[in-house]
Amino acid sequence: MRFWCSTLEDPWSWSFRAYPGVWLATLLLVVPYLISQFRKQGQEPGHKKKLTQFLLGSLAFWVASDWPLGLLGASYLAFAHMIQFMLYTLVAAPLLLLGTPEWMATRALQKIRLHRLSCTLSKPVTAGLIFNLMLVLTHSPWAVDTLRSNQFGSFAMDFLWLLCGLLVWLPIISPLPEHRMRSYPGKIVYLFLAMGVVPAIPAGFMTFASFPLYAIYELAPRVHNIGATTDQQLAGLIMKLGGIPIIWGSIVVIMMRWSEQSGKDEINADSCDPQLRVESDQ
């Protein structure tokens, strides 16, 4: 039995394989959250929504890490590896952040004494640079072939993806206001640059490469006769297009909030104008 999904030489089969490390990691995510929610006196407004978001984020983490997707991504198919990456960084990470209440985030960061560091790292330029550096490094053939070949390396890669996923979303949806960017146009530009531009480069390499880049996926026993080149092209397309609905969806939501805010500001400005107030009184 293995602790975490990593490269196997056996042919792919749909027979279940247990990875206790994945279950343990998921429990370490969910159980402390539920305990602290239970201990908290007095429910906050939107408590149920936050709970649902956190549990959905944990579910995405578990689906991305465990059999079958975890094993397919660690050993057989480059496109499964890419779906994993998308789930960690674009689904699990933002849902976990959205589901974390402010008091819990403050308490957790104070406990592990990382509040100041989190403030430094959540600066948009820093967060964007770290995320994209991680993206390029963890998709290099050397990193994938080396880390995926053993379970500790594979665990490190998955953990890094989740951590950098959380980091890149901090300036947009952090539970702590000191992490969040205030300017709406700034948020839009950040999302576009940090998550929409750089991934297109490795995605382009994967889609248009004449040969498979990663040895582990090229030389893995084939799954349903999917060729190594086709698999890599699919991975490139997922990387290039898979994030679009989430990133552009988030941009649309930010624009709507921006327009709502502008409307409110205009009303407030109007109500403050003495001439208008006199006119309305008459």
Partner 1 sequence: MRRPVYFTRSHTGGVAQLVERFGRIEEARGSIPLTSTHGSCFRHLFSMTNQKWQIFASLMVLSLLLVSCENQKSNQKFEGLEIDLPSAMPELELTDTNGRAFNLRADTTGMVRLVYFGFTECPDICPIHLAQLRDVLELPQSPKNVVVLFITVDPERDTPQVLRSYLDRFDSEFVGLSGSKVDLEAAQLAFGALVAAPEYPIEGKYTYGHDGRVFAFAPDDMGYTQYPHPTRQTSWAHDLPLLAQYRKTKL
Which parts of 139-243 fold into alpha helices (H)? 141-147, 151-173, 184-191, 200-208, 215-218, 228-241
Give me the least distance between CB of 149 and partner 1, in Å please: 13
* Gap between the Cα atoms of 78 and 242, Å rounded: 14
Cβ atoms 179, 170 nearer than 8 A: yes
Q: Looking at 18, 133, 197, 219, which residue binds partner 1 (CB under 8 A)?
A: 219
Residue listed under structure tokens 């975890």: 70
Within residues 141-180, the interface with partner 1 by CB under 8 A covers: none
Shortest distance (Å) from residue 219 CB to partner 1: 4
Residue 162 near residue 61, CB atoms below 8 Å: yes
Q: Is 236 in the site for partner 1 (CB under 8 A)?
A: no
Residue number, 145 or 158, with CB nearest to partner 1: 145
Kindly report the backbone phi and psi dihedral angles of residue 69, in degrees, each rounded to the nearest multiple of 5, phi listed first. -60, -40
- Is 215:7 a contact under the CB 8 Å cutoff? no
Q: What share of the chain is helix, strand, coil (3-state, %, to 5)?
A: 75, 0, 25
| 221 interacts with partner 1 by CB under 8 A | yes
State yes or no: residue 120 binds partner 1 (CB under 8 A): no
Q: Mark 184-213 with x for binding to partner 1 (rule: CB under 8 A) and - for no binding.
A: --------------------------xxx-
- Which of 11, 32, 186, 263 binds partner 1 (CB under 8 A)? It is 11
**Residues binding partner 1: number (CB under 8 A):** 16
Q: Could you say which of 56, 63, 218, 255 contacts partner 1 (CB under 8 A)?
A: 218
Residue from 82, 220, 234, 238 in contact with partner 1 (CB under 8 A): 220
Q: What is the DSSP secondary structure assignment for residue 178, as one 8-state letter?
A: T
The footprint of partner 1 (CB under 8 A) covers 9-11, 210-212, 215, 218-222, 225, 227-229
